[in-house]
Structure 1
Amino acid sequence: MAATVQADDIQQTRTRLQSLDALRGFDMVWIMGLEPIVKKIARVTHWPAFEWAAIQLDHPAWNGFHFYDLIFPMFLFMAGVSVPFSVGRALENGTSRSKLLWRVVKRGIILVIFGIIYNNGLNIQPIAQVRFGSVLGRIGMAYMFAAIIYLYAAERWQIFWFWFFIIAYWLILKFLSAPGFHAGDLTMQGNFASYVDRCLLPGKLYLGIHDPEGIFSTIPAISTGILGILTGITLKKTGLSQMKKVTRMVVVGVVFLVLAWIWNLDFPVNKNLWTSSFVLNVGGISLLLMALFYYIIDVKGHNKWAFFFKVIGMNSILIYMSTHFIDWNHTNTAFFNWLFQLIGNPWNAVAAAVTYLLIKWLFLYVLYRHKIFLRV
């Protein structure tokens, strides 16, 4: 029996992790167009469940946590999960660490550049008007440092660095602050991370005095990437049965959630600062969702239902960047305006949101059928 399980796991590591593509697509579909569908249904119906969901699809003003706060860090988590299956396999096949280091650094830099383009477009602007912090830039930098640690550190040291970054970040923000504020001030004006960004980050900050994708808060984000890498290592191990992998992810996920909300009493869960409690909270939820998708798709083999998400997940960066090059709203209106007029108020707004998502998905489906994927 043990030999059978091991053989199954070896075969699995040689193939693409189907659950990872599906989970990436599930993550991306919310900002691709599912969010406005939920919000418009809530506005039309006033059903309590949809009104609650609509609240969850907005970020809290500062402290606290809503579901929408999960989307960005889970994408970084999944970038980490893929590392043992890509970088790790290349190492096993004899590619040198120095060559892989350059590959990792190049990917990080490309994502930073993509993020700048996403924020500012392709128009040349004065440096003071350029926003350098970005979602893709944060993913690129955190992924890069986490992958470098993976290349040069054993698993136990990766665990050490995971805890080191979030504990060190907590201590720095607890005992330091912006000039003129008391030590440990965590307001937007007074916290040390925002102060460092105001001093070092060129161009403009997203909120004037603070940027949620700034330089200093990238430190704990590296731990989010490392957690993904450790999860990928677990999923790739041939000595663990698939059910033990699921169990390990669930147990660690639950423990992280408990620790996150205990830590929240001293260091609030806050996406804007990417606080250490936030790292554990989104890490715990990411682990539970990874366990669920892995169990259903890779363990039980029920993968047909996930095809919709897989199409999105295999071209997630492309569809994210596309909004700066394709006027999806105009395309949607051009194709379906007759339908919106036929449906009439108030449900035409819901129909518009649904068709907006549908057009984007069909675009990705055509690319999927022709095996066209944006690889960074």
Structure 2
Amino acid sequence: MVTAKESPVTKTIAPRLYSLDALRGFDMFWIMGAEEIVHNIAKISGSPFWTGFATQLTHPAWDGFHMYDCIFPLFLFMAGVATPYSVGRELEKGQPKTAIAFRVLKRCLILILFGLIVNNGIEIKPISEIRFGSVLGRIGTAYLFANLIYLNAGKKWQMVWFWGILVFYWALLKFNSAPGFPAGDLTMEGNFASYIDRLVMPGKLYLDIHDPEGLTSTIPAVSTGLLGIMTGTFIKTDPSSGTSKSIKMAAAGLLFLGLAFLWNFSFPINKNLWSSSFTLHVGGISLLLMAAFYYVIDVLGYRKWSFFFRIIGMNSILIYMSGHFIDWEYSTKAFFTWLMQLAGDPYNLVVFAIAAVFIKWLFLYFMYSKKVFLKV
């Protein structure tokens, strides 16, 4: 697909994207404990504002969208943004594509392994009791295929792949269904993606008849990774000013949100299925956030405020997995029980949630100061 005149990489010296570390940290901040702060404030205050905010930090049962649904795809999007700066740099150094592809495959397999550990712990279980679908597994798999496309397709063909995957997935679910259901059925039991997962996935599914990180719904997630790659390539190689790039990213984000709204009538926005409309919707939000962080941090140069988030973002996989090896509740109580006692009931719930985030951040800061990073 790549001709001699068209290369997936343009040789250029690109500065570090401080905004990418900050946005990754902002993304992880919500699942490392910030959501508990909001939920506890809502529980105590009964305020309509905090109650509404807390609702946004939950997942809808099926169709629909809450902001919490954006955390996972935003992380995958950012993994794509980093590709032109990591994999692209290897290409610029003349590394063979085959060797790079094997390194990408290695990262994929490590993430799948980490996902299995997060789901099942480190213990021997019957295959029937193991859940194979995972957040990290999907990130690794989608990252693998998005990078293979990046390595072998120029910019125009990457765009073709992006839209082609979304249209293919829409058609797959629109004109098929589980046996006994009408074509195009998108209920949890009747949709074709969940049916295929029930047939081919080993072990157990998260919801017995459906897994939100199933195999089939990983197909459109490849487009999420590709969108990140195209965004990263644009930031790295486009000759326009940083301000212009930010405006173009924001405009593209708004366009995606509009297209998602229209596609929603035929293919509802649904994180469980990673529907094509969902892919566009979270892609639009990801572009808007990337534009804002890039403009403020990398274009205007306001970096100091983002240090808190960058500490999280530079060790995001570590903090995601840490809860399975570190008893954060015990650590928080060991240091801050006195503060919870001073706060009294029910405000001790909020104090505990804030203290838990603080303890985790101090741990990440210590790792940062020692230059210890869990990289895949």
TM-score range, shorter chain: over 0.9
Look up the match of 1:113.
Answer: 113
Q: Distance in 2 between matches of 1:238 and 1:252?
A: 15
Unpaired runs of at least 5, structure 2: 1-9
Q: How many angstroms apart in 1 are the aligned matches of 2:320 and 2:258?
A: 33
Distance 1:19 1:159 in 2: 24
- 1:24 counterpart residue number: 24
Q: Which amino acid aligns with 1:192?
A: F
Partner of 2:315: 315
State the match for 1:362 in structure 2. 362
1:106-151 superposed Cα distances (whole Å, 9 cap, x missing partner): 1011101100000000011000000000000000000110001000
Task: Give the partner amino acid of 1:265.
Answer: F
State the match for 1:64 in structure 2: 64
d(CA) in 2 for partners of 1:245, 1:152: 25
Distance 1:238 1:28 in 2: 29
Structure 1 partner of 2:5 = none
User: What is the DSSP-based 3-state SS (H/G/I as helix, E as strand, rest coil) of the residue aligned with 1:325?
Assistant: coil
**How far, CA to CA, are the matches of 2:243 and 2:340 in structure 1?**
48
Letter matched to residue 205 of structure 1: L
List per-residue Cα deviations over 1:200-237 (Å, max 9, x = no partner).
10000000000000000010000000000000000101
Amino acid paired to 1:307: F
Three-state SS of the structure 2 residue aligned to 1:362 is: helix
Task: Give the corresponding residue for 1:159.
Answer: 159
Look up the match of 1:99: 99
Quote the residue 1:284 is aligned against: 284
Aligned match of 1:217: 217
Q: Does 1:240 align with 2:237?
A: no
- Structure 1, 215-224 or 244-253: larger mean CA deviation: 244-253
For residue 300 of structure 1, what is the aligned residue in structure 2? 300
Q: How much has 1:13 moved relative to structure 2?
A: 4.5
Q: Matched residues in 2 for 1:15 and 1:126: separation?
A: 48
Q: Does 1:129 align with 2:129?
A: yes
1:75 paired residue number:
75
Amino acid at match of 2:99: K
Residue identity matched to 2:15:
T
**Mapped partners of 2:303, 2:19: distance in 1:** 8
2:196 aligns with 196
Aligned residues of 2:14 and 2:236 also touching (Cα < 8 A): no
Supply the AA of the counterpart residue of 1:21. Answer: D
Q: Distance in 2 between matches of 1:306 and 1:182?
A: 50
Q: CA deviation at 1:358?
A: 0.3
Report deviation, 1:341.
1.3
| TM-score of the aligned structures, taking structure 1 as reference length | 0.96
Confirm or deny: 8 A CA contact 2:34 2:357 kept in the other structure.
yes
C-alpha distance in 2 between matches for 1:123 and 1:13: 46
**Quick check: 1:13–1:85 contact (8 Å CA) kept in 2?**
no
How much has 1:15 moved relative to structure 2? Answer: 3.0
1:179 aligns with 2:179: yes
Identify if the C-alpha distance between structure 1 residues 140 and 337 changes in structure 2 by more than 3 Å, giving closer, same or farther: same
AA partner of residue 49 (structure 2): A
Measure how far apart 1:14 and its partner are. 3.5
* TM-score of the superposed pair, with normalisation by structure 2: 0.96
Q: Which amino acid aligns with 1:373?
A: F
* Equivalent AA in structure 1 for residue 291 of structure 2: A
> Are the equivalent residues in 2 in contact too, given 1:60–1:66 (CA < 8 A)?
yes
User: Is 1:37 aligned with 2:37?
Assistant: yes
The corresponding residue for 1:270 is 270
3-state SS in 2 of match to 1:65:
coil
* SS class of match (1:335): helix
What amino acid does structure 1 have at the position aligned with 2:236?
Answer: K
Contact 1:83 1:229 in 2 (8 A): yes
Report if aligned partners of 1:198, 1:210 keep a CA contact under 8 Å in 2.
yes
Give the counterpart letter for 2:225 in structure 1. G
Determine what percentage of the aligned residue pairs are the same residue. Answer: 61
Q: 1:18: how far off? A: 0.1
Structure 1 runs not aligned, ≥5 long:
1-9
| Length, aligned pairs only | 367
1:240 positional shift: 2.2
The Cα shift of 1:277 comes to 0.1
Q: CA RMSD in A?
A: 1.2
Cα distance in 2 between the residues matched to 1:367 and 1:13: 29
Tell me what 2:147 maps to.
147
